[in-house]
Amino acid sequence: MSAGSDAILDRLLSLHPKRIDLVLDRVERLLAALGHPEQKVPPVIHVAGTNGKGSTCAYLRAMLEASGYRVHVYTSPHLVKFHERIRVAGELISEEELSALLEECERVNDGAPITFFEITTAAAFLAFSRHPADVLILEVGLGGRVDATNVITPKLCCITPIGLDHQEFLGDSLAKIAFEKAGIIKPGVPVIVGNQSNEALDVIRAHAEKLKAPAIVFGQDFSVFEEHARMVYQDENGLLDLPLPKLAGMHQLENAAVAIAALRNAGKESRMWARDAAIERGLKTVEWPARLQRLTHGPVIDLAPANAEVWLDGGHNPHGAQAVARAMADFEERAPKPLYLICGMLKTKDAAGFLANFSGLARHVATLSIPGEDAAMGAGALYDVARAAGLEAAPAEDLSDAMMQVVAWSRAREESGPPRILICGSLYLAGQVLAENG
């Protein structure tokens, strides 16, 4: 009888001394031993970027499924359970199949050094090769050039906005990070390029030109804007008047535009993949937890002040925080409410750069240490960072204590209406909040 997937995943963590070690030879060796399942998958849309790549994958899936297509999806990290990473023909992988695939990969690998992400990516390719589907949406784990997913030749690829993150692995400048992300571009394969800084765009363009890969660039070849509470998308093929996406924030219009551009530039499949009605339905039905997700009920809401608006976001770098802060400012303009942050972050992240985006916007920050995370920044240390960023703040013992602080601050200020609360700073924190909220 197969062991449970949690036990197997724990064993796989011990196969390599480093959690992250970016090379391709180990995963290529294992995939060859498994019979090259990565060569037996449906047409691939490969998605890299610092921010927005998960949301772009979610839009692609929603729009394609709205056309009746069977869609495989591979994303990371997961929020609550590992199964979220592997969606087979529209359904999360079953516990039975996941356990069997992980054991098969473990057996074939035979104790050789391999990272957790590499061996679990191999398991995902096995799953995708054994189930029929029309499309595989493949999200890069980290970087692109030497990421374990970069062993395929895709139908097309997308590079969402690039910012400073994971500098210890990808480099200390936007140009260096863009070089790693651009590594997913393949000869002659179209690349959809999201909203980029000039520094990042120059690197991507140069790489695409070198490989004779058509580059379809946001702001030049396609654009998006909001008008009369509608989303307007435009490219050389015309204009689409669409509903606003279900996911909140201007940055989500841009992510949706990348997905639409991808479907409209997929070669001979474009006419079928980019049906207007399916794009519209996908915008209305898209789901992507912990990306400006409104929590409306559950134990976490029960802790909040009466009638409070509670939002959850897993963004964890300054570029992502800038997008979320812009969304919060838009909310404030449309429906004014005092904003409170509950924030937890990892020591490896730029907490000062993250929190600076909320200076002058948030009334108060409750800082907490993410439970069970060895790399979590202490609540006191994060409090010091918040204060240095010009924010009023106080450390909290846990989420419950942080919510109690918001209640107390709101009452002390005798605010006339309920507050708006943003829980933010880490996908690890977001996952714990979703688990706690059921």
- Using DSSP's 3-state secondary structure scheme, residue 177 falls into helix
Which strand ranges, in their side-by-side order, compose the sheet holding 339-343? 293-295, 309-312, 420-424, 339-343, 364-367, 393-395
Q: What is the dihedral of CA 257, 253, 342, 311, to 10 degrees?
A: -120
Interhelix angle 250-263/318-334, rounded to 10 degrees, is 110
- Give the CA angle between residues 107, 109, 114 to the nearest 5°: 135
Q: Which two tokens stand for residue 294?
A: 């409104």
CA nearest 403: which of 391, 392, 411? Answer: 411
- Using DSSP's 3-state secondary structure scheme, residue 157 falls into strand
CB 355 within 8 A of CB 391: yes
Same fold flag, 5-285 and 293-436: no
* Residue type at position 414: E
Q: Which residue has the tokens 């990272």?
A: 115
CB 105 within 8 A of CB 124: no
Distance, in Å, from the CA atom of 209 to the CA atom of 188, rounded to the nearest integer, reads 9
Q: What are the boundaries of each domain within the chain?
A: 5-285, 293-436
pLDDT of residue 182: 97
CB 191 within 8 A of CB 159: yes
Residue 121 CA: distances (Å) to CA of 32, 156, 175: 13, 20, 27
pLDDT of residue 268: 82
What count of residues does the chain have? 438
Write the DSSP string, 235-283. Answer: ETTEEEEEEPPSS-SHHHHHHHHHHHHHHTTSGGGHHHHT-HHHHHHHH
Distance, in Å, from the CA atom of 309 to the CA atom of 422, rounded to the nearest integer, reads 8
pLDDT of residue 166: 65
pLDDT of residue 409: 87
How does DSSP classify residue 183? Answer: G
Residue 310 CA: distances (Å) to CA of 106, 304, 328, 343, 364: 42, 8, 12, 13, 15
Global pTM? Answer: 0.93
> Cβ contacts of residue 147 below 8 Å, gap of 6+?
22, 48, 140, 141, 183, 184
Write the DSSP string, 95-155. Answer: HHHHHHHHHHHHHHHTT----HHHHHHHHHHHHHHTS--SEEEEE-SSSSTT-TTTTS--S
Distance, in Å, from the CA atom of 87 to the CA atom of 288, rounded to the nearest integer, reads 13
CB atoms closer than 10 angstroms to residue 388: 13
> Cβ contacts of residue 250 below 8 Å, gap of 6+?
226, 323, 326, 327, 330
- Using DSSP's 3-state secondary structure scheme, residue 358 falls into coil
Task: List per-residue pLDDT tens for the chain, 438 residues long.
Answer: 346 898 988 898 888 766 667 789 999 999 999 999 999 999 999 999 999 999 999 999 999 999 999 999 999 999 999 999 999 999 999 999 999 999 999 999 999 999 999 999 999 999 999 999 999 999 999 899 999 999 999 999 999 999 877 667 677 899 999 999 999 999 999 999 999 999 999 999 999 999 999 999 999 999 999 999 999 999 999 999 999 999 999 999 999 999 999 999 998 887 889 999 999 999 999 999 999 999 999 999 999 988 999 999 999 899 999 999 999 999 999 999 999 999 999 999 999 999 999 999 999 999 999 998 989 999 999 999 999 999 999 999 999 999 999 988 888 877 768 999 999 999 999 999 999 988
Residue 194 CA: distances (Å) to CA of 211, 215, 281, 330, 392: 19, 10, 22, 22, 35
CB atoms closer than 10 angstroms to residue 417: 12
pLDDT of residue 170: 74
pLDDT of residue 410: 82
| CATH code reported for the domain at 293-436 | 3.90.190.20
CA nearest 288: which of 47, 41, 121, 126? Answer: 47
| CATH code reported for the domain at 5-285 | 3.40.1190.10
